[in-house]
Amino acid sequence: MKNDPFAITPEDLKGLRFEILESETLAPGDTLVGGRLGKFRIVKRLGIGGWGVAYFARHVITERPFTIKVLAESLASSTVFVRRFVKEAKITAQLDHQNVRQVFDVDQEQDRYYMVMEYVDGVGLQSLIQGNRFLPPRLAARIAGQVSRGLLYAHERGILHRDVKPRNILVGRNGLVKLTDFGLAKVLEEEEDVTQAAGVLETPEFQSPEHLAGWDSDVKADIYGLGATFFCMLTGEVPFRAPDKYTLAQILETQETPSPQERNSAVPGPLAQIVMNMMNHYPFLRHQNWAEAIDELSRWLERSADKPVALPTPRTDGQPS
């Protein structure tokens, strides 16, 4: 889109280590690689997530590329997780937006449940952060802006993601950013919740204080999740660390959210303030909707267009900072 403040160009990605970390793709004894699953030939492993393993695959007739997500064997024996896996496919199949990864089908072959998804030629945001220590501020803001648009689209259709974090965001080599993994999503008008599944699979560091406290979540919980992700992009670190969600909830009650500028002096003060607004412990003090967040990010990008940017030094070991 012409003059799109969130458009990512090849220049934005130049100099960054842009590859899937080896630790995500190692698969000793993976019997699927080289074989078939339904109408798909499994070529290689792409990554590991809370729900299972993602593979690069090609349709056996058309040779068209796809990503196949296979539900982990440890979860496939649970009717709760199978039901959530199928529901994720149904929820995401409703969404047709350039910043949301498309889901085409969900199927079962013997004891394997799998989802057929759009293949994105790029890397997970988690790999991009870990491979580069942190991301340049304007690139981080553009990634956050594109994710915000995807989340706005989903929320307008009554869907909360509830698991916004770097592992659930893909950055394409073409500059398109896509939100993925709606496994913990909630359709607002439905009564059913996913407490059992969430308790096992959520990442507490990116969960809002009200979610950790067991309160009902709304759009502002997703805004907090993107704020924590934004913090991670700018600093290479999560804002708070704790061994479990109960300890983290206690920390959030007693400690103020740190500024990303405290962890990385290259982060501009106004951008740091946007991140802190998104992560405010009190929901009513955050951006109240995605339109507010998108507008503030757009205005910051316009004001900062001619200012120099600090580039990270890519890691050589591929380990998180």
The pLDDT mean for the chain works out to: 88
Residue 192 has pLDDT above 60, yes or no: no
Output the pTM of the full model.
0.90
**Residue 13 — pLDDT band, cuts 50, 70, 90?**
very high
Which architecture characterizes domain 10-14+121-303 according to CATH?
Orthogonal Bundle (1.10)
**Residue 311 — pLDDT band, cuts 50, 70, 90?**
low
Token pair 């009554």: residue: 158
For 118-144, the pLDDT digits (tens) are: 999 999 999 999 999 999 999 999 999
Residue 307, pLDDT score: 61
Q: Please, are residues 55 and 67 in contact by the beta-carbon 8 Å criterion?
A: yes
User: For residues 128 and 118, what is the distance between their CA atoms, to the nearest angstrom?
Assistant: 20
Q: Please, are residues 237 and 130 in contact by the beta-carbon 8 Å criterion?
A: no
**Which residue would you say has higher pLDDT here, 213 or 313?**
213
Residue 60, pLDDT score: 97
Residue 236, pLDDT score: 96
Residue 313, pLDDT score: 55
**Which residue would you say has higher pLDDT here, 193 or 307?**
307
Residue 320 has pLDDT above 50, yes or no: no
Residue 222 has pLDDT above 70, yes or no: yes
CATH 1.10.510.10 residue ranges of the chain are 10-14+121-303
Whole-number Cα distances in Å, 93 to 97, 103, 105, 191, 206: 11, 5, 8, 20, 25
**Which residue would you say has higher pLDDT here, 4 or 216?**
4
For 17-46, the pLDDT digits (tens) are: 988 765 565 556 688 999 999 999 999 998
Topology adopted by domain 22-118: Phosphorylase Kinase; domain 1 (3.30.200)
Residue 71, pLDDT score: 94
Read off the pLDDT of each residue in 48-54 and give the average, rounded to a whole number: 83
Which residues fall within 8 angstroms of residue 110, CB to CB, at 6 or more apart?
Answer: none
Residue 319, pLDDT score: 44
Residue 102, pLDDT score: 96
Give the residue numbers annotated as catalytic, written as ranges: 163
CATH 3.30.200.20 residue ranges of the chain are 22-118
Read off the pLDDT of each residue in 50-78 and give the average, rounded to a whole number: 93
